[in-house]
Structure 1
């Protein structure tokens, strides 16, 4: 009876944890795509309103980006609902991060040195952390440039770091999504460190084990 009670309790805890992870995946994944889509549409509206210096090639590029983000958001919603990690991770974390930075509306310098592929759960957490942190840079920091790095440390730890030259003042609990990231990395015994004095710069470091 004790064994049955313990097994049942573990099953309930696992189900609750899975639902929380799915909620965070939806927030940090598809929502990021939709935010990028909204930003692109705002830029398109601005360009179209300026009839004097209207550049159709720029508008077409923005429309293409908005369409791609909408398509990716639909794909991630469908796949995340099935509990599958984002399809962009199929080719590994380096390619996923390169795709993420290439679609950013702000210039991002990317550095990746991950010679050994982490487990799928760690890759997924790293990807969503990068997506949320880059979204924060675009939405809240006022930065003119930012960097994203993912480097395997000598002890096997995957270190993800996002820095920007923005206004600073970022901290967990202010609606920036950092609280959710902190909860996410703790599920695999990872850590999140935020250094963001008023006036900047902001440096957020996420350390994750190679396997969950």
Structure 2
């Protein structure tokens, strides 16, 4: 009897699905864990996970300076493409109508708070009911593009953070350089103290 290769496909697909567990939904968050325990988990906002062609823009939770905070990640864009076309990208973030906080974006398009801002953001974040994001793009000539804003509900954030920390390895990110860090780097470049 001749074997039909397509007869094996459902079993192969079932094996692949078992290797990557389905995301766990906790309030407005999705906990996405890699199959291996050493690869860890990622917490991503379910409504702030947008696909634009080959690019993905997502609000994720990462450890910055040892605390869990929201960050904005743009996946799928080569860094050299971004650096060559814009001077700066900053994400504005506001929790529950509070003050706007700036999350500067690295050339890798991971937008994180500064080390000074991270602890205060980590304290306010678990209890917040809403989050508003604003994109600010500055072109090489100094012009800024219009600032689109989007609001997102936050539900069960504290529970989702607890579940993330119980999952093992957590994605980390370096804090954005503060203004004093930038000045120190500039002084080092020109040889002044």
Q: Same fold judged by TM-score > 0.5?
A: no
The structure having more radius of gyration, on CA atoms, is 2
What TM-score, normalized by structure 2, do the two folds share?
A: 0.27
Which protein has the bigger helix share? 1
What TM-score, normalized by structure 1, do the two folds share?
A: 0.25
